[in-house]
Amino acid sequence: MAEMTIKRGGVEIATETFGHPSDPAVLLIMGAMASMLWWPEEFCEQLAEQGHFVIRYDNRDTGLSTSYPLGKPGYTLSDMAEDAVAILDGYGIKAADIVGISMGGFIAQRVALVHPGCVRTLTVVSSSPLGIDDLPAFTDDYSAHAVTAETLDWNDRASVVDFMVRDVRMIAGTAHPHDADAALQLIERDMDRAHSFANATNHFLVEGGDGEKRLAAADLRVPLLVIHGTADPIFPAVHGEALADAVRGAKLERIDGGGHELHRNDWPQIIGAIAAHAGAR
């Protein structure tokens, strides 16, 4: 495991790697409000053991990467996609297997659409297709929970921890027991490590940034694997199905009872699917 900060203009992106640099690279892109820690270290190690050089990193406004004024992110999803490309450049990598989860799935799709030469394969986990807008929203229970974030004092650590603990519980799947203690430890570790954990809420204000150009998953021309839990409350399973249907030759890996998470019990299926997809490119 090794750390490196990638600099792109005035932006600093904290990264960490697992495995041998001579192995094919896998770039992991995390979702909204989550630092690289939400790609668990052991998950990354197990993926590296499959013969991959694994890179995880903190998106802007998370972890040790550059943060912005609260409520004024000053960057777009397109900028975040360019950050991913800059990370590959920083490591001297011409092309990688790109894996994005949730918001990271949107970023990963943008990388593959705008810089297809940088992408050997694309894996999108618990996300939704770009360019398709008529898909179901959050479940009612999760929507009721999410709206409480609007009145939360994000500078009150106890309140934020309580909200995040409830959030992680609500996005969990139905197939396996939820580990509340492990979730609390991860949340507190993430908060302790961040420049300003509250600034991660900037992610909810970030727009596409593509001007008049509308990006669409149907235009993807790289090998695509979609991994999606059947009990995902944020992006119901139809989102993953729509993404796989939109891209010719795409594969869909369903996680039975899986939520909007990387549950440890599902790692063998998830890691195995990613490794097989990358190996079959």
Spell out the residues 6+ positions from residue 264 whose beta carbon is closer than 8 angstroms to its own: 40, 179
260 included as an active-site residue: yes
According to DSSP, the β-strands at 25-29 and 2-8 are: unpaired
Annotated catalytic residue within 203, 232, 239, 266: 232
Handedness of CA 248, 127, 51, 14 (dihedral sign): positive
User: What does DSSP assign to residue 194?
Assistant: S
Is 128 annotated as catalytic?
A: no
CB neighbourhood size of 149 (10 A) = 15
Given the residues 65, 67, 78, 102, select the one marked as catalytic.
102
DSSP state of 114: H
* Catalytic annotation, pick one of 52, 145, 228, 260: 260
String of b and e for 197-210 (b: at least 16 CB within 10 Å)? bbbbbbbeebeeeb
Catalytic center residues? 102, 232, 260
